[in-house]
Amino acid sequence: MKTCLLTGASGAVARALGHRLRRSGHRLALVTRHPESLTVEPGDCIIAADVATESGAESALIQVEAAFGGPPDAVVNCAGAILIAPIARTTEAQYRACLSANLDTAFFIAKAYAPRLQKAARPGALVLFSSVAASIGIGNHAAIAVAKAGVEALVRSLAADFSGIGLRVNGIAPGLLRGPATERMLNSEAAARAIAGQYPLGRIGEADEAAALAEFLIADGTWMTGRTLALDGGFGAVRPYLKVGG
Digit-coded pLDDT (tens) for 2-28: 999 999 999 999 999 999 999 999 999
pLDDT band at 33 (very low <50, low <70, confident <90, very high): very high
pLDDT of 188: 75
Q: Buried (b) or exposed (e) across 102-120, using 16+ Cβ within 10 A?
A: bbbbbbbbbebbbebbbee
pLDDT of 172: 98
Quote the mean pLDDT of the chain: 94
- DSSP state letter for 35: G
Please indicate, yes or no, if residue 100 is contained in any of the structural domains. yes
pLDDT one-digit tens code per residue, 43-78: 899 999 999 999 999 999 999 999 999 999 999 999
Please indicate, yes or no, if residue 79 is contained in any of the structural domains. yes
Whether pLDDT at 245 is above 80: no
Please indicate, yes or no, if residue 64 is contained in any of the structural domains. yes
Whether pLDDT at 106 is above 90: yes
CA–CA–CA angle 140, 141, 146 (5° rounding): 145
Please indicate, yes or no, if residue 240 is contained in any of the structural domains. no
- Compute CA distances 86 → 142, 182, 184, whole Å: 7, 18, 18
Please indicate, yes or no, if residue 46 is contained in any of the structural domains. yes
pLDDT of 240: 83
pLDDT of 208: 97
pLDDT one-digit tens code per residue, 162-204: 999 999 999 999 999 987 777 677 777 887 888 888 899 999 9
- Average pLDDT for 208-224: 94
Please indicate, yes or no, if residue 27 is contained in any of the structural domains. yes
Report the number of distinct structural domains present in the chain.
1
Residue 25 CB neighbours (<10 A): 8
- Which residues lie closer than 8 Å to 161 by C-beta, 6 or more apart? 114
Sign of the alpha-carbon torsion through 76, 206, 173, 48? negative
Nearest CA to 112 out of 96, 126, 97 is that of 126
Whether pLDDT at 122 is above 90: yes
Return the CATH number at 150: 3.40.50.720
- DSSP state letter for 205: B
Please indicate, yes or no, if residue 113 is contained in any of the structural domains. yes
Comparing 94 with 36, the larger pLDDT belongs to 94
Whether pLDDT at 155 is above 90: yes
Please indicate, yes or no, if residue 174 is contained in any of the structural domains. yes
pLDDT of 117: 97
pLDDT of 180: 75
Domain that holds residue 103: 3-231
Judge residue 173's burial from the number of C-beta atoms within 10 Å of its C-beta, 0-12 exposed, 13-18 middle, 19 or more buried.
Answer: buried
pLDDT of 246: 55
